[in-house]
């Protein structure tokens, strides 16, 4: 029985259990349906920590769809999946190689595991103001020089840039390194041959998907995938790690919506919806390119569902501000050289037409300033676990240069860090710091 059918099943019993709202909304009629489905682990309703019924069946069906050894439902976003993977395969004293543009959860995982990290600096695409794909030759050289337990990267990036996961997986296998891919934004890849192959299809050991990013599920529905080819790890170990990190009161409506989202994506209707979205975006691009607009997906091998645009030397920030103030259009992120608009299965042609018409009319006189927002190589003085447990002092910003930061500086989005605790404050960091700066005691 599906989770939705189970939750909609009329119960004859009287519940004196959590949640105690009695499946009724006492303060908002608009949320009545949600409350009606909100149960806990009552008799017959299965348990996310040790599934044996409806949740086990739903995850098993998902595993078949994604062609994995095991797929786990996450109700705390892809973050909990990355943390669980790291907790399972990485121990204190292990060394990890991680792309510097990874989500901040990777740093959190380093703190939890006590592992040491070497940061792999991604290439820069200065023309677009984004990070480029992983340089596989540079990766191979790096893995040859030192011994690592795992390599962690993000593909696609927040801007839709994809790396050659198949080649990266081959390199990692040759060096006995686990490959973990944060594929949070690649939730549609499994369901259209017009999009990149999934990380698991290309040989990654583990990956995560955030179904709330562009697949239509609500925050924070996500998936953790374990490849059939993972060596030296059993899926039960991953389950145990998830149980350490996950609430004992998961949201059953979110679990049911995760199941429903996957079934929709896998259906003919879902695949047609995805292809319709791709058709609409291609039409959108074809209309605007002759007007001088440039698209990252046309210039590089990147995900078309992330609309990254620029026009000549037009200032991206000024463009973003005008779209917001004059056309009531809000973008996802302004890069040094471009503006990002996220799309998903809820993005209608009408929404794209509104953006298209605004871009056709808009005029921006401000010119993009020459900037170098890509960070130099970080100077790591203390590893994450050491820095996390150190005492700190406050100093004035002008006195912070070359001291060791006790605080992270992480722009939201895309939640990848400019500065982590344990790293030396360089001159370029100062523009991002408060007047009073937390620095580690010696």
Q: Give residue-wise pLDDT tens across range 61-92.
A: 999 999 999 999 999 999 999 999 999 999 99
Mean pLDDT of 109-129: 93
At 309 the three-state DSSP class reads strand
Cα separation, 118 vs 138, whole angstroms: 14
More confident: 401 or 22: 401
At 396 the three-state DSSP class reads strand
More confident: 246 or 28: 246
pLDDT of residue 303: 94
Q: Could you report the per-residue pLDDT of 188-207, keeping only the tens digit for each?
A: 999 999 999 999 999 999 99
Mean pLDDT of 379-392: 93
**Sole residue written with tokens 């009552």:** 42
**Strand partners of residue 210:** 222
pLDDT of residue 42: 73
**Sole residue written with tokens 């004859």:** 12
pLDDT of residue 4: 76
Does the pLDDT of residue 414 top 90, yes or no?
no
Cα separation, 216 vs 310, whole angstroms: 27
372 confidence band (pLDDT: 50, 70, 90): low
Does the pLDDT of residue 16 top 90, yes or no?
no
Contact partners, residue 307, CB within 8 Å, separation at least 6: 281, 284, 295, 297, 340, 341, 342, 343
Percent of the chain with pLDDT over 70: 98
What pTM value is reported for the model?
A: 0.93
Q: Could you report the per-residue pLDDT of 17-70, keeping only the tens digit for each?
A: 667 777 777 777 777 877 877 777 777 788 899 999 999 999 999 999 999 999
Q: Could you report the per-residue pLDDT of 272-329, keeping only the tens digit for each?
A: 999 999 999 999 999 999 999 999 998 887 899 999 999 999 999 999 999 999 999 9
Cα–Cα separations (whole angstroms), residue 338 to 101, 159, 179, 310: 17, 10, 30, 5
Cα separation, 348 vs 12, whole angstroms: 42
pLDDT of residue 70: 98
More confident: 31 or 163: 163
Percent of the chain with pLDDT over 90: 75
Lowest mean pLDDT among 269-278, 366-375, 385-394: 366-375
371 confidence band (pLDDT: 50, 70, 90): low
Does the pLDDT of residue 147 top 90, yes or no?
yes
Cα–Cα separations (whole angstroms), residue 171 to 25, 137, 140, 256, 399: 54, 9, 6, 38, 44
**In order of start, what are the domains of the chain with their CATH numbers?**
3-266 (3.40.640.10), 269-361 (3.90.1150.150), 384-440 (3.90.100.10)
């Amino acid at each position: 029985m599906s989770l939705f059918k189970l939750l909609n099943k009329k119960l004859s019993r009287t519940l004196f259990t959590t949640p105690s709202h009695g499946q009724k909304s006492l303060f908002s009629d608009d949320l009545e349906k949600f409350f009606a489905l909100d149960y806990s682990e009552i008799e017959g309703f299965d348990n996310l920590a040790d599934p044996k019924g409806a949740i086990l069946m739903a995850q098993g069906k998902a595993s078949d769809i994604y062609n994995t050894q095991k797929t786990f439902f996450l109700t705390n976003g892809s973050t909990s999946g990355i943390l669980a993977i790291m907790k399972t395969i990485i121990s204190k004293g292990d060394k990890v190689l991680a792309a510097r543009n990874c989500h901040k959860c990777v740093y959190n995982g380093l703190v939890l595991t006590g592992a040491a990290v070497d940061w792999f600096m991604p290439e820069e695409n200065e023309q677009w103001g984004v990070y480029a794909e992983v340089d596989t030759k540079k990766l191979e050289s790096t893995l040859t020089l030192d011994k690592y337990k795992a390599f962690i990267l993000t593909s696609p990036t927040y801007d839709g840039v994809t790396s050659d996961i198949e080649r990266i997986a081959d390199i990692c296998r040759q060096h006995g390194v686990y490959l973990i891919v944060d594929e949070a934004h690649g939730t549609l890849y499994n369901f259209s041959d017009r999009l990149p192959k999934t990380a698991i299809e290309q040989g990654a050991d583990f990956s995560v998907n955030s179904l709330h990013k562009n697949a239509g599920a609500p925050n924070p529905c996500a998936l953790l995938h374990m490849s059939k080819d993972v060596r030296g790890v059993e899926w039960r170990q991953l389950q145990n790690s998830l149980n350490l990190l996950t609430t004992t009161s998961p949201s059953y409506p979110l679990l049911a919506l995760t199941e429903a989202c996957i079934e929709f994506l896998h259906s003919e209707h879902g695949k047609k919806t995805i292809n319709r979205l791709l058709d609409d975006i291609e039409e959108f691009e074809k209309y605007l390119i002759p007007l001088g607009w440039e698209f990252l997906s046309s210039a590089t091998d990147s995900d078309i569902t992330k609309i990254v645009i620029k026009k000549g030397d037009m200032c991206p920030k000024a463009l973003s501000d005008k779209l917001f103030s004059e056309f009531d259009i809000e973008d996802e992120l302004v890069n040094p050289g471009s503006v990002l608009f996220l799309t998903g299965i809820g993005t209608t042609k009408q929404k794209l037409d509104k953006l298209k018409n605004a871009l056709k009319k808009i005029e921006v006189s401000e010119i993009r300033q020459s900037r170098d927002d890509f960070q130099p190589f970080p100077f790591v003085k203390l590893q994450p676990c050491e820095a996390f447990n150190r005492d700190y002092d406050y100093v004035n910003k002008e006195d912070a240069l070359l001291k060791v930061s006790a605080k992270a500086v992480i722009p939201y989005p895309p939640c990848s860090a400019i500065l982590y605790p344990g790293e030396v404050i360089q001159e370029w960091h100062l523009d991002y710091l408060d007047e009073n700066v937390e620095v580690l005691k010696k």
